Amino acid sequence: MTGTMGELIIVALAFLLIHVVPSSFLRGKLVSILGENGYMAGFSLVSLILLVWMVIAYRAVPSGDMLWDAGNAGRYLGALLMLIASILFVGGITSPNPTAIGAGKLIDRESAFEGINAITRHPMMWSFALWSLTHVINNGDVAAIIFFGTFGVLALAGTMLIDAKKARQLKDGWGRFKSRTSNIPFAAILQGQAKLSIKPLWWRVLFGIVLYAGLFHFHSLVFGVSPAPY
C-alpha cells in the first residue's frame, strides 16, 4: 500500500483523529492512566510520527488527477493570503492568549483582548488555515488537496474544539473573553465587540512581513517551486 493514494488518505485521517483527543473525554482518561507528562509526551510523539508519515506518503504518491490550475491569479491570491497568514502566525506566537495550552490564567488580563486577539482569538489556527488554502488553490491535484487540505480542516476544526474545551475549563471567564473576541477574523471588530489597537500590533505586523519575505524568497530553494507569478 506504500506510495498509494489510499495510504495518504489513511494517514491524513489518522492525523486528524489524533488531534481530536485533546478536546475529547479521551484526554482525561489517558491522563489518569499516563499522567499529564506521559500524556503530553505520548501525544507529541504520535503526532510527530503521523506528520512525518504523511509527508513521506505525500512525496511518494502520484499526484493524481488535476482538478484545476489557478495560474497567475492563484499565485497573486496566494501571495496575499500568505502575507496575512505570516502576520497572524507571528502575532499568535508572540501575544498572550488564553486559548494557548496552560494559559487560562490570562483570561482576566486586558492584554488578552488587545492586538492580534482583537482580530481573532485563534490567530495561529487561522494562519495555518490560510497557508492550507493557499496551497490548495495553487496545487489542484488530488494528492495536494488531501495533504494540504488536511491541515486546513484541522486548523478550522481546531478553533471550535479549543473553544469548547476552554468553555469547560474556564467557565464564566471564557464567556467574558468570548463576548469580546471572535473566531472569524475581524468579526468582533466589525460588530463593535473589540477595538483594533495599533500599539501592540505594529511590530508584530513588521516581523510578519519579514517572515513572509523570507518564506517567499527561499521557497524555491527549499521546496523546488517558486511562488512568484510567471
pLDDT value at 208 more than 90: yes
The predicted structure's pLDDT at residue 173: 85
**Share of residues in the chain with pLDDT > 90 (%):** 54
Residue that finishes a domain, picked among 45, 62, 79 = 62
Grade residue 1 by pLDDT with cuts at 50, 70 and 90.
Answer: low
Give residue-wise pLDDT tens across range 67-109: 888 899 999 999 999 999 999 999 999 988 888 877 777 787 8
Same domain assignment for residues 93 and 20: no
Domain shared by 10 and 54, yes or no: yes
Q: Is residue 194 part of a domain?
A: yes
CB atoms within 10 A of CB 7: 18
CA distance 198 to 223: 35
* Crossing angle (nearest 10°) for helices 142-170 and 25-60: 160
Q: Please give the mean pLDDT across all residues of the chain.
A: 90
pLDDT at 198: 87
b/e per residue, 160-175, with b = 16+ CB within 10 A?
ebbbebbeeebeebbe
Find the mean pLDDT for residues 42-51: 93
Q: Does the residue 228 lie in any domain? A: no
Residues contacting residue 207 through CB under 8 Å, at least 6 positions apart: 90, 94
230 lies in some domain: no
Report the largest interatomic distance among the alpha carbons of the chain, rounded to a whole angstrom: 55
Residue pair 95/204 in contact by the 8 Å Cβ criterion = yes
Residue 106 pLDDT: 77
**106 and 162 fall within a common domain:** yes
User: What is the number of domains present in the chain?
Assistant: 2
**223, pLDDT greater than 90:** no
Within-domain flag for 1: yes
Give the domain extent around 165. 63-223
Residue 83 lies in a domain: yes
Backbone angles phi, psi at 141, to 5 degrees: -90, 160
Task: Provide φ and ψ at 66, rounded to 5°.
Answer: -90, 115
pLDDT confidence of residue 2: 67
Tell me whether residue 229 is in a domain: no
**Do 27 and 91 have their domain in common?**
no
- The Cα 70–Cα 78 span in angstroms is 10
Q: Is 176 exposed, middle or buried (0-12, 13-18, 19+ CB in 10 A)?
A: middle
pLDDT in tens, 150-170: 999 999 999 999 998 888 888
- DSSP secondary structure string for all residues of 128-185: HHHHHHHHHHH--BHHHHHHHHHHHHHHHHHHHHHHHHHHHHHTHHHHHHHHT--SST
Distance CA 123, CA 195 (A): 16
Arithmetic mean of pLDDT, 207-219: 94
pLDDT of residue 101: 77
Q: What is the pLDDT of residue 77?
A: 96
9 and 121 in a common domain: no
* Residue 175 to residue 40: CA distance in whole angstroms: 27
Does the pLDDT of residue 124 top 90, yes or no?
A: yes
pTM: 0.91
| Model confidence band, residue 119 (pLDDT cutoffs 50, 70, 90) | very high
From 38, 62, 86, give the residue that closes a domain: 62
Q: Is the pLDDT of residue 14 over 70?
A: yes
